[in-house]
A and B are shown apart, each in its own frame.
Chain A
Amino acid sequence: MSAPLQVYEPFTAGLPPLIRYWKSLWSRRTFISEYSRSELREQHFDSVFGQLWLVLNPLLLSAVYFLLIVIIGGASDATRYAHLTATLFLFYLVANSLTGGVKSITAGQRLILNTAFPRIMLPISAVVIAVFKFLPTLVVFLIIRTIVGLPFSWQMLWAFPVLLIAMLLALGLAITISCINVYFRDIASFLPYLTRSLLYLSPILYEASALKPKLMALEVLNPLFPILDSWSRVLVHGQAPQVSSLLAGLAWAIGVFLIGTYFFLSREREFAVRL
């Protein structure tokens, strides 16, 4: 008799065999791309007006916040507006990953109950969707930047590592929150408060340098702070990011990703009975 193709045995607490898990995930990568594409199509982002809305929505949002800055903060200039749009758009990458990720497991109930696959595919897809929504806004920012007349510099290439760090953080957060939502279904209702607080705690409506030292000390607890600060330095001011900020952001992203993934992988085998 040939060897069994699949063996299912009781598992001890902890992680599934990681190499096999990864292989199984990698072989299903088309699911992730196909799912994001269908999802975007379903939200009409494949049509002209859908794409336009994708760009218009953050533009209007940045206009509203700029209004807020002008009214509360008094004087404001074009650089401030560029800073606001750059950081706001990146912030929405993270926020959209969270809102998309939170229900990814509970919404995939039918699939989870009836098919064996690495569950982590679902929050990953949510982040991929958020990235696809983010890309056009990046183009918009570059146009704004050109109109405003900010000089381009080679230091702006630092944007790539910063963006990667932000995406890793978004992924870690999405994985964590999708898992929590299985156990507490009302997390999704608390999410707007969380993202709103993060928005105000992050250097978006103000620049990181404008923050009081007392508050600054607290910002070590905000994973987005160093990332958005670096993002603005790189893309708006065309400077190299501070190494300390870059490292702090990276540490946060890796930390959240590892802890969230561990949490998720050690729990995902019981999702089917929890849904």
Chain B
Amino acid sequence: MPSVSNSHKTNEIAVSVRGLGLTYTTAIDRRPTLKARVKSLGRGSKHTRVIRALDNVNLDVEYGQVLGVIGTNGAGKSSMMRVIAGIIPPSQGRIEVFGSVSTLLALGVGFNSLMSGRDNVFLGGLAAGMSRDEIESHFQEIADFSELGEAIDAPMRTYSSGMFSRLAFSVAATVRPDILIVDEALSTGDAKFKEKSLNRIKELRSDDRALILVSHAMATLRDVCNDVAWIHKGKLVQRGAPDTTIDAYQEFLQVGKSAAIDEDV
């Protein structure tokens, strides 16, 4: 994944999603075991179920756009982000990504909780295809932004969930890819860090970058995005100006502009 960005012009396509469908089989048990399989032999019970996560989604993201993605839980938002990032292959359709593919690097940090935050940042970056030097050059900035101090060298199992996501967000926001996908990582940390991360997102908005933000924080999306896509049950319901789309979504939810949905929760 080259992170050297050749400059992209505004309105050039960053991500093109055509007829995207995603159907996958997954285990019903959270932890499928051979024992359970053997015990239920001959009983004809099912062990897997088929999930239709996405259905014929067409979506273009241009450079210079900040696309907010909204929808209820289980609507397929995260699945779509994973397909765009190349983590899950699509079942139908075609996805083209023009530019250095951003990753959901954010949440990949901390995959080994026994290792220190520093090790995890390095390993996450290396797995995403960055070079050691590249990570090294960003590391100080990441550590500073996360405000973890000496805790960066402590094992990640000692981190609070707030510290965890602060480090994750810092990685995502410091490594500057052409296309950045932030999946529900905005609304983490305390109020101070929340504001800091929101400001960073605003800083990252630029003509040669595309941002895709998945969030339930409607107020934030209204504030930051210049385009919003609403996904429901794997289908793209509406795409357009933030206010129009979010209003329609909120009306659909029949909650109106209640405090609960405007709040950064």
Question: A: which residues have CB within 8 A of B?
Answer: 1-2, 4-11, 24, 27-28, 30-31, 34-35, 38-39, 41-42, 107-117, 121, 183-187, 190, 269-270, 272-274
Contact = CB atoms under 8 A, between A and B. Distances in A.
B219 interface: no
A184 B111 contact: no
Contacts of B99: 5
Contact of B104 (A28, A115, A121): A115
A183 to B, nearest CB: 6
* Contact count band on B: 35 or more
Interface string B226-248: 00000000000000000000000
Name the prevailing secondary structure of the A interface residues: helix
B83 A8 contact: yes
B111 A111 contact: yes
A181 B139 CA distance: 34
B88 to A, nearest CB: 5
Most interface-central of A39, A114, A272 (chain B CB within 10 A): A114
B127 A185 contact: no
Contacts of A112: 87
B87 A28 contact: no
B115 interface: yes
Contacts of A7: 94-97
Interface in B90-109: 90-101, 103-109
Contacts of B119: 38, 41-42
Given A5-B97, A108-B111, A115 B132 contact: no
Nearest to B99: A5
Given A28-B127, A28-B129, A270 B115 contact: no
Contact of B115 (A30, A42, A185): A42
Contact of B82 (A109, A110, A113, A117): A113
Contacts of A5: 2, 97-101
A185 B108 contact: no
B32 A117 contact: no
Given A8-B94, A34-B126, A183-B32, A110 B108 contact: yes
B103 A114 contact: yes
A272 B94 contact: no
Given A42-B115, A107-B112, A272-B88, 19 more contacts: A1-B12, A7-B96, A9-B90, A28-B126, A34-B122, A39-B112, A108-B111, A111-B108, A114-B103, A116-B1, A116-B103, A184-B32, A184-B34, A184-B37, A185-B31, A186-B33, A186-B35, A272-B87, A274-B27
Interface string B122-135: 11101111011000
Most interface-central of B26, B51, B100 (chain A CB within 10 A): B26
B92 A117 contact: no
B159 interface: no
Interface string B61-92: 00000000000000000000011111111111
B82 A35 contact: no
A110 B94 contact: no
A38 B86 contact: no
Nearest to B91: A10
A203 to B, nearest CB: 30
Contact of B26 (A2, A116, A273): A273
B24 A9 contact: no
B114 interface: yes
Contact of B128 (A117, A186, A269, A270): A117
B111 A110 contact: yes
Contacts of A9: 89-90, 93-95
B110 interface: yes
B8 to A, nearest CB: 9
B204 interface: no
B153 to A, nearest CB: 12
A34 B127 CA distance: 10
B87 A185 contact: no
Nearest to A16: B89
Interface in B1-48: 1-2, 12-13, 16, 24-27, 31-35, 37
A30 B122 CA distance: 10
Given A11-B89, A115-B104, A185-B31, A121 B127 contact: yes
A8 B83 CA distance: 8
A159 B98 CA distance: 50
13 contacts: A1-B98, A28-B126, A28-B127, A35-B123, A38-B112, A111-B123, A111-B124, A114-B85, A114-B87, A114-B103, A115-B103, A116-B86, A117-B129
